[in-house]
Structure 1
Amino acid sequence: MPVEPSSPADSVPSSADSTPADPPRGEARRRFLQRSGLGIAAALAASSAATVHAAGVAAADANAVKLSLIQDPNTEQKEQTPDPNLPPDDRVGYAIVGLGRLSLNQILPALSQCKYSKVAALVSGDRAKALKIARQYGVRESAVYDYQSFEQLANNSDVQVVYVVLPNSLHREYTVRAAKIGKHVLCEKPMATSVADCQAMIDACRQANRKLMIAYRSQYEPMDRMIAKMVKDNQLGPLREFIASNSQNVGDPTQWRLNKALAGGGALPDIGLYCLNAVRFITGREPDQVIATVSRPDNDPRFREVEAGVHFILSFPEGFTATCAASYASHESRFFRLQGAQGWAEMDPAFGYNGLRLRHGLLVDGKNAVTELQIDPQDQFAREIDHMSSCVKRDAMPHTPGEEGLQDQRIMEAIYESARTGRAVPIARPTSPTRGPEPDEETF
């Protein structure tokens, strides 16, 4: 019987290589204001004004209440009003597989905030717990399954997507089983515990003509996306280095994340993956080499099977590097900084569910200027789930398909090989894109 998670399971070529001529001082000030406050206000206005995706816009607009405009649209940011949601019967239904901490504390509450998605079924090895949760979220008793009756989901027309929230080594099994019964799959990260398992998941969904998306929530988070846009717009100049760390001091030596058979590793696949995926996503670049070390404190019962810490340096073409660290034995700390020849951007804290902070620095009128960019909080889980629902509705490829998880797994295996051999390990460049089209902000 699958072990349900008891704590959170998470977690295009850049044009930044051409340096423009230095602008006049007045022009530099204007660009700075556009990049920081004014440009961001415009981006936020566009995001908050987004409407539902094309498949549901008519139904949503028909039920929307229209109010008169009381602010000057030429000088004021558009009022942030709730978008009309799809009616319950038009939403994409999800079966949540595994009712551990991440599902209870993050995913199910996020589904309550989604515009285009709903919880339609639960799968758990503890029926008493599952029935209690079903009552909380309005799921009928007949839509509560155990792992042995999983295939009965095939007969539940309310379920279009299976969200796999199980220990890492079980991701392959339940993704393949879901595809075989005709369901799309949203799978938590890391995608699996081996390259072979990742490829099997991709193949199973492709053969069944079902969509597979990996839940890289940070790729749908507005601040992370804003930094990626800075890179795309060449606001930082040629990129030089990326520095990141993700650490937490774990307890309970019996938890599944410290069991190698279930987790596949320690700090690297759970929290180190955030550093790895962030540099790939934000810069749009792929590493070609890695050198790494892992650590395991002596006589610590938590780390009998998996590493406590990992340090790795990724080398990229044209001299760009990423220095990353992750630890299961250090006090909570999560941050990254991307440095370019003309500026830098950082998040501290980064990677978390909430409380994120973004700062941006560059030279203005001969002075080092630092701006903190503030964005209204948004639920990352709701954003990624609604993106999957939009892809199902529109028959579109998800932004983070299985190929994205597969590439991260390839790199993690190279990191472990480098740590084992003490040598730099080459990393093959993907032969095709690992991400789908950029998410349409109108679906959020």
Structure 2
Amino acid sequence: MNSRRDFLQKLAASALAMPFLSSYDAFGHADFRLPVSQGPVLRVALMGLGGYASRVAEAMQSCKRAKITGLISGTPGKLQEWGAKYQVPEKSRYNYENFDNIKDNPDIDAVYVITPNALHHDQVIRVAKAGKHAICEKPMALNAKEGQEMVDACANAGVKLLVGYRMHFEPKTLEVVRMRQAGELGKIMFFQGQCGFRIGDPNQWRLDKALAGGGSLMDIGIYAVNGARYMVGEEPVWVTAQETKTDTAKFKEGVDETIQFQLGFPSGAVASCLSTYNMNYLDRFFLNGEKGFAELQPSTGYGPIKGRTNKGELTQPHVTHQTLQMDEMAGIILDNNKPVVPVDGEEGLKDLKIMDAIYAACATGQRQELRG
């Protein structure tokens, strides 16, 4: 009897503990599968039903704490197709002209803005005015001025603004952050970030300055900008940068093909990064400290991420990035959880300020000092 009673007591205690379990601890160690019972579900409207939204939508089918309850698109056929596929009723389908009406829809908590960069600013502000939380793909805006206006609009409306930094939840990435925070790598000396691929269709929006705001830096170079910050664990104080362009027909004025940039940090650590639309096989982070190193390659692709350190191979499990991201963002929005690496609008704004400085350094040939 005693053993049975002890078993039942332990079982009850485990059940009570379940809602308080996190998908991973502060250093990315535990089981990365969310418990089934972990609080309310975040009801999300997807805005911009393109290729990346398709990836997000598919990944969300495995989420425990987030589900698709709304759709926003300028293409009626997509609204109908996606509505049927993801069981979103017509009353929760909107176009770009009338989506402000989400303010009257109790089935939507947040809107994930997955549209071309130039549209983020106005769309996020409209989402905030409708009283809904905003999740915005990166880069958050075209420049720091726009980003600040978005942060202010969401603060004034009393809603959260998160940015789609999926790598901030990736297990191997978090293990490197943990090692650095724990001092296992010693004093950090150097970071290298390489992000590049050969871009295809010359008529796509990513090569249109009016929609993209730039070129490779805005699309993939932002991974190196952001990665340098969370890998080194400091905010840079200066930037130098150089632009190279070999195809002026494809990469028109204001659309960068290749940018090399360097960052300096208060501790004396430096970063050397490359962003390009003209070279394949560039997806690597390398962090060097006095006691050790960490390398991720691939470092920011959809996975699985692979990595090693001076202690050996990283073996944390792969979970679809967008599934993990959306479940964790549900916890941030609904439970005020604090991620190891921030994903809020202030984080997005810091990257925009650095990218503004990178473009200024390319234009002037001069080192740019960064201030908070």
TM-score, normalised via structure 1 length: 0.75
In the alignment, the residues of structure 2 paired with residue 121 and residue 91 of structure 1 have an alpha-carbon distance, to the nearest angstrom, of: 14
Q: Within the alignment, does 1:415 sit opposite 2:367 as a pair?
A: no
1:108 Cα deviation after fit? 0.3
**Are the equivalent residues in 2 in contact too, given 1:193–1:264 (CA < 8 A)?**
yes
2:42 maps to: 92
Q: How does 1:308-347 map to 2 (within 5 A)?
A: 308-347=257-296
In the alignment, the residues of structure 1 paired with residue 98 and residue 33 of structure 2 have an alpha-carbon distance, to the nearest angstrom, of: 42
1:392 Cα deviation after fit? 2.3
1:296 Cα deviation after fit? 1.6
Gaps of 5+ in 2: 1-16, 23-28
Q: Match of 1:135, SS?
A: helix
In the alignment, the residues of structure 1 paired with residue 334 and residue 19 of structure 2 have an alpha-carbon distance, to the nearest angstrom, of: 9
In the alignment, the residues of structure 2 paired with residue 109 and residue 81 of structure 1 have an alpha-carbon distance, to the nearest angstrom, of: 17
Q: How does 1:37-436 map to 2 (within 5 A)?
A: 54=20, 83-85=35-37, 90-104=40-54, 106-361=55-310, 371-395=312-336, 399-428=342-371, 430=372
The one-letter code of the counterpart of 2:255 is V
In the alignment, the residues of structure 2 paired with residue 132 and residue 264 of structure 1 have an alpha-carbon distance, to the nearest angstrom, of: 30
**Are the equivalent residues in 2 in contact too, given 1:96–1:121 (CA < 8 A)?**
yes
Change over 3 Å in CA distance of 1:303–1:401 after alignment to 2: same
Change over 3 Å in CA distance of 1:270–1:341 after alignment to 2: same
In the alignment, the residues of structure 2 paired with residue 325 and residue 298 of structure 1 have an alpha-carbon distance, to the nearest angstrom, of: 17
The one-letter code of the counterpart of 1:256 is W
**Are the equivalent residues in 2 in contact too, given 1:169–1:263 (CA < 8 A)?**
yes
1:83 Cα deviation after fit? 2.4
1:436 maps to: none
In the alignment, the residues of structure 1 paired with residue 233 and residue 34 of structure 2 have an alpha-carbon distance, to the nearest angstrom, of: 32
Change over 3 Å in CA distance of 1:80–1:317 after alignment to 2: closer
TM-score, normalised via structure 2 length: 0.89
In the alignment, the residues of structure 2 paired with residue 172 and residue 180 of structure 1 have an alpha-carbon distance, to the nearest angstrom, of: 13
The one-letter code of the counterpart of 1:400 is V
Q: In angstroms, what is the RMSD of aligned CA positions? A: 2.2
1:203 Cα deviation after fit? 0.7
In the alignment, the residues of structure 2 paired with residue 400 and residue 82 of structure 1 have an alpha-carbon distance, to the nearest angstrom, of: 19
**Are the equivalent residues in 2 in contact too, given 1:245–1:334 (CA < 8 A)?**
yes
**Are the equivalent residues in 2 in contact too, given 1:172–1:201 (CA < 8 A)?**
yes
In the alignment, the residues of structure 2 paired with residue 310 and residue 93 of structure 1 have an alpha-carbon distance, to the nearest angstrom, of: 39
Count of matched residue positions in the alignment of Structure 1 and Structure 2:
349
Change over 3 Å in CA distance of 1:265–1:136 after alignment to 2: same
Gaps of 5+ in 1: 1-50, 58-76, 362-369, 431-444
Q: Match of 1:318, SS?
A: coil
Change over 3 Å in CA distance of 1:415–1:304 after alignment to 2: closer
Offset from partner CA, 1:138-186 (integer Å, 9 cap, x none): 1112211111111111111110001010111111111110111110001
